[in-house]
Structures are given as structure tokens and as C-alpha cells.
């Protein structure tokens, strides 16, 4: 429950220190949920783990949390990145300005933090 309170406590004009502390908590909670899933998968085996609908839902939320963290990091440090790796076979570099412009425009359309999603994740995984 504490993760819901921390991650949903977005306020207007919050300080960068407070935002950084919330991001660090998000990383910590995500790490805890990843460890929990890894322990369950190790103990139950993949097939038994995957048969349970709640485990599928938990796994989906963990993947979405990792994607959220990835987008947050790209949005925060995108201008400092020389290459953005999309997949092993597809790469954007600074020599492709149109593609980078499109990527930056796409980043602007991604909300920085989805409080409802984070609250849903926190509620369902604890």
C-alpha cells in the first residue's frame, strides 16, 4: 500500500528532488515485483506459473512497468543519447535526422507518469 501513496502523490510544481525520489521508489518497487515473479516462476515452473490468470496479469504489469521506466529514461535522457537501439537489427543514429525527429515527437506524446496505471500495478501486485 505504501507504493500507491508514494507513486500517486504527484503535486503541482513539485521539486526535482521529490520527483527523483518517486522515480527511485518506482525502480525499487518494480525490482521487488520482478524478484517476486522470479521466485514464483522458479518455485512453480513456467507452465504452472503461466496457468494462473493472476500470474499472467502480474507478469503483464511487470512488463508494462519496465516499459514505463524505459520510456521515462528515454524522455529524460533522450537528447544525450547518440543512438537509440530499437532492436538488434534496427538502429537510429544521429545521421538519420528525420527518424530522430519523429522519435522525439513521439516521446512528447508519451505521458511522463501514468498514476492510474502505477496505482493499478501497485494494488494488484501487493
pLDDT in tens, 4-51: 788 788 888 889 999 889 889 989 999 999 999 999 999 999 999 999
Q: In total, how many domains does the chain have?
A: 1
pTM of the model: 0.58
In a domain, 94, yes or no: no
Q: Could you tell me if residue 47 is inside a domain?
A: yes
Domain span holding position 15: 2-80+112-125
CA–CA dist 18, 13 (Å, integer): 10
pLDDT tens for 78-116 read: 645 444 444 443 444 444 555 555 555 554 444 444 433
pLDDT digits (tens, 9 = 90+) for 17-26: 998 898 899 8
- Is residue 116 included in any domain, yes or no? yes
Residue 99 included in any domain: no
20 in any annotated domain:
yes
**Residue 109 CB-density burial (10 A; 0-12 exposed, 13-18 middle, 19+ buried):** exposed
**Average per-residue pLDDT in the chain?**
73
Confirm whether 88 is domain-assigned.
no
**Given this model, what pLDDT does residue 112 score?**
44
42 in a structural domain: yes
Amino acid at each position: 500500500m505504501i507504493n500507491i501513496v508514494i507513486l500517486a502523490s504527484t503535486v503541482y510544481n513539485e521539486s526535482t528532488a521529490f520527483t527523483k525520489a518517486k522515480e527511485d521508489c518506482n525502480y525499487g518497487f518494480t525490482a521487488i515485483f520482478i524478484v517476486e515473479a522470479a521466485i514464483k516462476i522458479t518455485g512453480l515452473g513456467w507452465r504452472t506459473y503461466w496457468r494462473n490468470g493472476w500470474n499472467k496479469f502480474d507478469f503483464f504489469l511487470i512488463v508494462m512497468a519496465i516499459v514505463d521506466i524505459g520510456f521515462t529514461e528515454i524522455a529524460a535522457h533522450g537528447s544525450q543519447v547518440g543512438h537509440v537501439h530499437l532492436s538488434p537489427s534496427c538502429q537510429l543514429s544521429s545521421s538519420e535526422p528525420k527518424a530522430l525527429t519523429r522519435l522525439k515527437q513521439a516521446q512528447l506524446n508519451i505521458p511522463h507518469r501514468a498514476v492510474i496505471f502505477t496505482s493499478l500495478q501497485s494494488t494488484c501486485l501487493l
